[in-house]
Structure 1
Amino acid sequence: MKHYILLLLLCFSVTVFAQKTTKLNVINADFTYPDKNNPDATISTGNVFVEINGATIQCERVVLNKKTNFLEAMGNVVLNQGDTVHQTSDFANYDGNKKFATSWGNVVLKDPTMTLTTDKLNFDRAKQHLFYGNYGTIKDSINVLNSKQGNYYLDAKRFQAFTNVTVVNPDQTLETDHLEYFTETGKAYLYKPSTITGDDSVVYTEKGFHNTKTKISHLTKNSWIKYEDRLIEGDSLFYNEVTSFSSATGNIKITDTINNSILKGGYGEFFRALDSAFVIEKAQAISLIENDSLYIHGDTLLVTGKPDNRIVRAYHHVKIFKEDLQGKCDSLVSIQASGLTKMFRKPILWAQESQLTGDVIHFLSNSETEQLDSLKILGNAFMIQIDSAGYNQTKGRKILGKFKENDLRIIDVLGNAETLQYVRNDKDELIGIDKTRASNIHITLENNDIKTIGYIGKPDGKVYPEEEIHVNDRKFKGFHWRESERPTNKEEIFKHDPGDELMIQQDRIREREEKQKALRDAEKKRKQELEMKAMIQKQDSLSNLNNTQIKN
């Protein structure tokens, strides 16, 4: 019984093999004769037509070995597979058992989506797999692809290219050493260092995806996008060349090569057509200055404007760090062309030993050196300088300041001006406390110490002995020493302080209330308009009725 089953299995295997392997057959030739050098072979010449299991070969001469089921074709060789694959070459070999063809000499193969040209091509018909090893070119409706080695899978319309790969179309040139390309969709998958050069941009990646039709790229390893004036980097990049939009995720960095500035964060977007960049997640803007860069952090950073007029906007938890200047506020606008920076919502500046606060703070810097030029504090202006005996204080409605080499040299206090100063003699001994009010006060400083004070508009005050002023009276109303919030290095700009969240919540509540009020006002206006319209219609009806009665 076992021998019978084994015999059946052997017969089945032979039958299956016979079904899969079809003998090569010369259907037509002008002449066919035995090969003198090989008794198992015949030679056919002139208009030779060979059937090879679902495909045909036409040529000028064929040597067919029926025993090995192998043929050699030469002279204007044409291989057709159905109506989808058409190949021409000078020479070709075909193994009927393996369904494997090797063609060489001016090889051109076409299918419905592409044309492949090379000097030598292998064709595994069992797997519908083409491959070459000594340079070839694929051309489809969009691109021309060149590479040293290549594999093309006919069923999937998928092409693998290796070594010195280029993909060229009228808009872009892609260069790499390994990619997969789909001829139907124009999609390319990149696996080695690659560059995509467009009309006004260069893209680099070591792994990613690029659609040659839509010009959209997803890049995932050591990637960057370079424009004339911007360099965009990140762990993962998205880029649409058509819309000039790009986004980056993870360790993002947008470098402005013209203005020597950098944006960093966890996520960012860049709209080249609008000249705008948007960054969140530990976002920071860095102005690169020799020996002393300026760092600005905010929950959200937005940079807009042409290269000669960039504007930086920062929102929520804003902090500034520079070696000789630090600041904090809820929102900030900085105009690079003029060097003007505006700080809003509980703004504070620390310049050397001075703390400056107010409702709004404006400060002006030299746009090239970033050194402070002047400042303006509007509303509840308050300046505090620490002294070994206490705090020197100056307050008023406004404070105008002038800097030289980043040192505050001149202060003008305008409107309800007040000063409280610890006065010392030449030996630096405390001699009293000067507490004076005036309409305006003019102060000059040297090395952060008051050099002169001038009072304008009937000053009221004097120098009091220290013991005559109670400790509780040595601080003006609104005094708040906020040194604990001061960033001492560039890493501390990301630190949130107590009370920050409350301020943001208050902003959100205020915005919500303003929207609700706007909706109520709009609804009230709509009702008034409806009532007015109804009143006019009623008046028109009464008028028409009266006119009718008069006529009758």
Structure 2
Amino acid sequence: MNNTKRSIVKTAWWLMLPLAVWGTFLTDNTASAEKKKTILEHADFIEGGETTGPGGAAISYRSAVGNVRFLHGKTILECDRATDWLENERIDLNGHIVIQDNSLETRSDTGTYDTRRESGELSGNVRGRVAEDSLTAKSVRATVEMIGDNLWLFGDAVVWQPGRQLSGDTIRVHLREIDGKKRVDELEVRGHAFLAIKDSLASSPLTYDQLSARRLLARLDERSRLKNVTATEKAQSLYHLYDEKQQPTGANYTSGAKIRMFFVEGRLSRILTTGNPLGKEYPSSMMNEREIDLPGFRLRDKERPVFEP
């Protein structure tokens, strides 16, 4: 059993220092190479002390408790309790965790934040959003890379955007600065990848073009519309067909080693299938039948996380 010695500093003392530097100066990995501080903006109280590590050595720690809010560069960290281990750059976070900048917000129940790498490891009820793209996401675990502008979602991951749902074992959401704002420009899925795109011409609200594979890479334009999608390894697609008067003519199923979808202004334009391609067509009378859906098709809107405005 670990022995812990601690001291508690109450709120009255804390109010004398509304801003406190938490930890040492850390080297920023940007081109400017400026020194970056971890600043504790608020906590109901703080405590510190020592605990015995696995090897018997004393390990010093500091904890901020209650309505905790940190600043680290442009990154904001919030939680119920944060513990700083003085021997490294890790901060343990617990309860109502929020890691965000002006573009990406990720929440969870538990996690850690590495001040040197500017990355967070989160678990438990993970959900995230990119406000500029109306993108929301959920997963079992996540890694937030503030420097690389990546959000990695692990375990039953789902991403929603207007008219689209993307799911898989692992999803990487990449952001790129466009006109001074960071927007999603790439979505990568590894394992059980499935993309469902609402058919805007269909009369039924449940008609979706579908694409599945082991791996999938989607690229978006500056308005968050799909530009192209590449599905590899056991790729399958189902898309709906219309004539020049936008009247339904049927649905097409295709399978192959690789399927590429190309979009013009966000609308599906053409499909290219390579590697033992196979296909078949369904009549228009079957376009809204669930039996022609690809295996694994499931709309999961009820699981979509809700964020306050």
Q: Provide TM-score, normalisation by structure 1.
A: 0.45
**Residue in structure 2 matched with residue 475 of structure 1 by the alignment:** 293
Secondary structure at 2:147 match in 1: coil
In the TM superposition, residue 487 of structure 1 has moved relative to its aligned partner by 2.5
Distance 1:470 1:230 in 2: 55
Q: Does structure 2 conserve the Cα–Cα contact (< 8 Å) formed by 1:246 and 1:270?
A: yes
Q: Deviations over 1:307-336 (max 9, x none)?
A: xx3111111110012222211100011222
Per-residue Cα deviation, 1:194-252 (whole angstroms, up to 9, x for no partner)? xxxxxxxxxxx9713xxxxxxxxxx4788542255122121112357xx8843222211
Alignment pair present for 1:442 and 2:260: yes
1:392 is aligned to: 209
Query: Post-superposition shift, 1:345?
Result: 1.1
Aligned to 1:401: 218
Aligned residue number for residue 126 of structure 2: 318
* Alignment pair present for 1:428 and 2:246: yes
Tell whether 2:144 aligns with 1:334: yes
- Post-superposition shift, 1:266? 1.5
Contact 2:93–2:112 (Cα < 8 Å) also in 1: yes
- Residue in 1 that maps onto 2:84: 270
Structure 2 unaligned segments of length 5 or more: list them.
1-7, 26-36, 50-58
1:350 corresponds to 2:155: no
1:381 deviation in Å?
0.9
Task: State the distance in 2 between where 1:364 and 1:346 align.
Answer: 18
Letter in 1 for 2:270: T
Q: Which has the higher helix share?
A: 1
Q: After superposition, where does 1:192-203 map in structure 2 within 5 Å? A: none
Distance between the aligned counterparts of 2:218 and 2:288, measured in 1? 30
Does the Cα contact within 8 Å between 1:234 and 1:249 map onto a contact in 2?
yes
Quick one: percent identity of the two aligned structures? 20
Number of aligned residue pairs: 269
Alignment of 1:15-30 (within 5 A): none
Larger radius of gyration, structure 1 or 2? 1
Instruction: From the superposition, tell whether residues 244 and 430 of structure 1 become closer, same or farther in structure 2 (CA, over 3 Å).
Output: farther
Give the match for residue 284 of structure 2: 466
Note closer, same or farther for the CA distance 1:474–1:488 as it changes in structure 2 (3 Å cut). farther
Matched, 1:297 2:107: yes
Which amino acid counterpart does residue 238 of structure 1 have in structure 2? E
Match of 2:44 in 1: 235
Contact kept? 1:321, 1:490, Cα under 8 Å: no
CA distance in structure 2 between the aligned counterparts of 1:418 and 1:226, rounded to whole angstroms: 54
Q: 1:255 to 1:239 in 2, by over 3 A?
A: farther
Cα-to-partner distance string for 1:4-49 (whole Å, 9 max, x where unaligned)? xxxxxxxxxxxxxxxxxxxxxxxxxxxxxxxxxxxxxxxxxxxxxx
- Whether the 8 Å CA contact 1:284–1:296 is kept in 2: the answer is yes
CA distance in 1, matches of 2:194, 2:68: 38
* Residue 249, structure 1, aligned to residue 65, structure 2: yes
State whether residues 298 and 314 of structure 1, in contact with CA within 8 Å, keep that contact through their aligned partners in structure 2.
Answer: yes
Per-residue deviation, 1:378: 1.3
Quick check: 1:274–1:305 contact (8 Å CA) kept in 2?
A: no
User: Corresponding residue for 1:374?
Assistant: 186
Q: Is the 8 A contact 2:112 2:122 kept in 1?
A: yes
- How large is the RMSD of aligned CA atoms in angstroms? 2.8
SS of alignment partner, residue 156 of structure 2 = coil
Q: Which residue of 1 aligns with 2:20?
A: 225
User: What is the 5 A alignment of 1:43-82?
Assistant: none
Q: Which residues of structure 1 form unaligned runs of 5+?
A: 1-188, 191-204, 209-218, 492-552
> How many Å separate the matches in 2 of 1:439 and 1:246?
54
| Equivalent residues of 2:240, 2:287 under 8 A apart | no
